[in-house]
Amino acid sequence: MTEAEALAWVGRHSKAVLATVKRDGRPQLSHIVYTLDDDGLIKISATRDRAKTKNLQRDPRASLSIIDDKWSDYLVVEGTCEVRAENVLPELRHVYERVTGKPHPNWDEFDASMLRDGRVILAISIDRLYPLDR
């Protein structure tokens, strides 16, 4: 699998396990839904008070294990995260549409929920993909 094929594979999926680094150095694992955006970043909607968000604010290193529905193929993405917390409603809307494949039925309700929940965007670069030799 070439890097271009691997990126296309990542883009066709949306579920992963996100690994971040806890304060004591152990991994924190979180099941997440993501989208590979047109800018080449993996985008995740998360709440400001979650362990994964706090971990990434302290240490931006992240890994994602992406497994297909049959558990036969997988890729690991290693990257660096930027936690975006300011003026993120347009990006949260975009991530929602990318993950669900359709617009929300009530954007005002969606926006209010995102603000109430303290949602942020976790934007993760793709610094390394493996395995590529499958």
Q: What is the mean pLDDT of residues 37-57?
A: 97
Instruction: Scan for tokens 């998360």, then name that residue.
Output: 46
Rounded mean pLDDT of the chain?
A: 95
Note the pTM of the prediction, 2 decimals: 0.94
State which residues form the domain around 59.
3-130
> Which domain CATH number covers 18?
2.30.110.10
Per-residue pLDDT, 133: 67
pLDDT bin (cut points 50, 70, 90) of residue 125 is: very high
8-45 tens-digit pLDDT: 999 999 999 999 999 999 999 999 999 999 999 999 99
The packing angle between helices 89-100 and 107-117, to 10°, is: 110
CB 18 within 8 A of CB 62: yes
DSSP one-letter string for 16-68: EEEEEE-TTS-EEEEEEE-EE-TTS-EEEEEETTSHHHHHHHH--EEEEEEE-
pLDDT bin (cut points 50, 70, 90) of residue 73 is: confident
Mapped onto helix, strand or coil, the DSSP state of residue 9 is helix
Q: Which amino acid is at 23?
A: R
- In this structure, the chain runs to a length of 134
Instruction: Scan for tokens 């390394």, then name that residue.
Output: 128
CB 11 within 8 A of CB 4: no
* Structural domains counted in the chain: 1
